[in-house]
Amino acid sequence: MNASTVEHTADVSQLVFRSRVVQILAVETAVLYGVLAIFVDIHPLWVRLVLGFLALSAAVVALAVRGRTIATHMPGRILIVAAMVCVSFVAYAITNQGLPVIASFSVLSLTMAVTVLDTYRMGIILSAFGYLLALSVIISRGANPLAACLVFLGLAVTSSFLLIRQRQFLEQARDTALNLALTDSLTGLLNRRGMEVQVPLLDSVSRRTGQQLACILLDLDHFKAINDQFGHAVGDDVLRATSATIVRTMREADVAVRTGGEEFAVFCLVLGQSDMMALAERLREQLEHQATHPQTTVSIGAAIGSGADSAAISALSARADTALYAAKQGGRNTIRSA
């Protein structure tokens, strides 16, 4: 899963969610206006006809977005604003003083849909517009405007707070799930999926700055013997200590990955071969002297290349892996470059 795949999946999920919310809103609007037009005694008659037309239009919108994805917020915004204005207009036109209050609370339900459907900034703007419309209707047409305003404001504040908190919770849960999908649970480093997301970003920086992208591949020497002699719990401690040492040694912009088993990779921006080898040597020295029991060393293979996409990353990693094999063949605890 590369960066474009992750972004595409997130975009598709957002579009599907947006479409479902617009469909639900359209169905709710159709039912609300239909009930008002058919079952509520509203005068003059033309107001009921307008409500019936709005109910039919909303039903058509609900059918039109069924099974489709909406690529922009604009249809939902138009539907909501049109519904707000029409409901407020109808509330001004009807003669029964109790119905404007009911209409105002239907505007409140529309503002709640805005909070869920739209972005924060535009959601706040449209919600404020809806609140002002509803309050103006209550104050000018309600039989008891003060009581209705207090109830309305109480519901508006409470429901807005709950929806905003729920949205924040869902976004946090989404970010946590994404983080778990892209990181290694034992060491906290990126896994291969995370590598395919982050390395292309680092590669784009290298192209803008004129630097080169390097892959430094590290493999713990004789790690299988550690697991066999001391157990997997000790082996896990060694892996966690190794990852912590790598993070402390590498530079802030570098990307550290646990590629699998006892193998790690550091993708970094370098000025050339000597810069890459200097960082590899720092990593080797720090890992050789890290405070673990039993003591461990690493063999390192390094290469410079491209990381623009998953294929390029695989090719770069393969070259670094060839150099790593040469380091192991050369006696371990040493560095080779491709």
Query: What would the pLDDT profile of 24-68 be if each residue is shown by its tens digit?
Result: 777 877 887 788 778 777 777 877 888 788 888 888 888 887 777
Low-confidence ranges of the chain (pLDDT < 50): 1-10
pLDDT of residue 2: 42
Q: DSSP characters for 98-134?
A: SHHHHHHHHHHHHHHHHHHHS-HHHHHHHHHHHHHHH
Told to judge if 262 belongs to the known catalytic residues of this protein, a careful annotator would answer yes
Catalytic-role residue among 262, 263, 281, 285? 262
pLDDT of residue 318: 95
pLDDT of residue 293: 84
pTM of this structure:
0.59
Domain boundaries, the chain: 3-181, 192-337
Q: What are phi and psi of 51, to 5 degrees?
A: -60, -40
pLDDT of residue 262: 94
The CATH class that applies to domain 192-337 reads alpha beta
Condensed to tens digits (0 to 9), the pLDDT of residues 82-115 reads: 778 877 877 777 767 667 777 777 777 777 777 7
pLDDT of residue 285: 95
Locate all alpha helices (DSSP H) within the chain, ordered by sequence.
3-39, 45-64, 74-93, 99-117, 120-141, 145-182, 192-209, 223-230, 232-249, 273-288, 310-329
